Amino acid sequence: MDTAEECGLDGAWLAEMHFTPDRSVLSSPITIASSIATRTKRLRIGMAVYVLPLNNPLRIAEEVATVDQC
């Protein structure tokens, strides 16, 4: 993401993926989003896919709101 920001990209979209070994597996996009938020200055981070049946929707909303304050 550091390189993406240096190259002038505006945003990054993260997707939660499970059980797909031939693709990039990201089981907790909110954790990666918080790391990106601490390392970059202007890169916007979005959640493209969050598997709600595997998570508590209220918990997701709270976590996303917390990362949004970074």
Please write the tens of the pLDDT for every residue from 4-47.
999 999 999 988 887 777 776 687 888 889 989 888 988 898 88
Locate 26 and state its tokens. 């990201």
- pLDDT at site 48: 84
> Looking at residue 7, what is its pLDDT?
92
Question: Domain map of the chain by residue range?
Answer: 2-68
> Given this model, what pLDDT does residue 46 score?
87
* Contact call for residues 66 and 36 (beta carbons, < 8 A): no
| pLDDT value of position 24 | 66
Global confidence as pTM:
0.75
Q: Residue 70 has what pLDDT?
A: 60
Contact 39, 1 (CB under 8 A): yes
